[in-house]
Chain A
């Protein structure tokens, strides 16, 4: 049963990630990415990370992708008529690295089986509660740094996107 769910989600994720790269129209690419985000959320549910699945849908599909679609609409982007000139080199590189990953994983599967990790009662308490406890105790300092990153990104985005914030009235 686990395998059926995994192969469904993994298949859709693989196909839609290929479509994101291959489709010429950026709106279609963004919509393929939307489908991929939903299936990644489904994969998180099968991995017992329910809270992350909800966050994935809310933040990625709800905020980030909508921002992309707004920019595509604002800039009135046309479909690309051709790919970049370095397509053959990039395709070769991708195929080579992909076979390398497959070979390495096939070799290592026999060598190292996953050791039986100590069965933690931590997951029994509920996913959201556990994450909250770890986030606000062990990772409190990185959490604060993350808020600083968001602040810097907000100020930077406003300054970059605003039209004549830096030029001022001295412009002729």
Chain B
């Protein structure tokens, strides 16, 4: 007896929404990037689950591309955080109001 597909969808939806809420409620920009990683992992779980249930390996190939984008996002994002910290000496998002002043 295999696990139904909807259980995986439920899990990935929950993880994705946790990531969305994390982006909205955290002030530390590093943890916001970690929440984006949560969302990317939720989509990866979906891809692999559908790939297994439809016996199509293309879903697993797409996880690779998602992984590439995640790695690029982390590299550029952390570089931006370092530049921000150097310019502003703060990594809290509500301190970054340069365009509002």
Pair from one complex: yes
Please encode chain A, from 35 to 47, with 1 for each CB lying within 8 Å of some chain B CB and 0 for all others. Answer: 0110010011001
B31–A29 contact, CB under 8 A?
yes
User: CA–CA, A86 to B23, complex, Å?
Assistant: 11
Number of cross-chain contacts by CB at 8 Å: 222
Shortest beta-carbon distance, A106 to chain B, in Å?
Answer: 8
User: CA–CA, A78 to B18, complex, Å?
Assistant: 23
A47–B15 contact, CB under 8 A?
no
The interface on chain A, measured as residues whose beta carbon lies within 8 A of the other chain's beta carbons, has a size of: 83
Residues of A within 8 A of B1 (CB): 2-3
**CB of B99 within 8 A of chain A?**
no
Shortest beta-carbon distance, A4 to chain B, in Å?
Answer: 10
Interface of A, secondary structure class, is helix
Query: Given that A75-B82, A153-B76 are known contacts, is A101 also in contact with B7, CB under 8 Å in the complex?
Result: no
Q: CB within 8 Å of A: which of B1-29?
A: 1-7, 9-11, 13-15, 17-22, 24-28
Shortest beta-carbon distance, A149 to chain B, in Å?
Answer: 5
Show the binding face of B for A, using Cβ within 8 Å: 1-7, 9-11, 13-15, 17-22, 24-28, 30-31, 33-35, 37-38, 41, 44-45, 48-49, 51-58, 60-61, 63-65, 67-76, 78-83, 85-86, 91-94
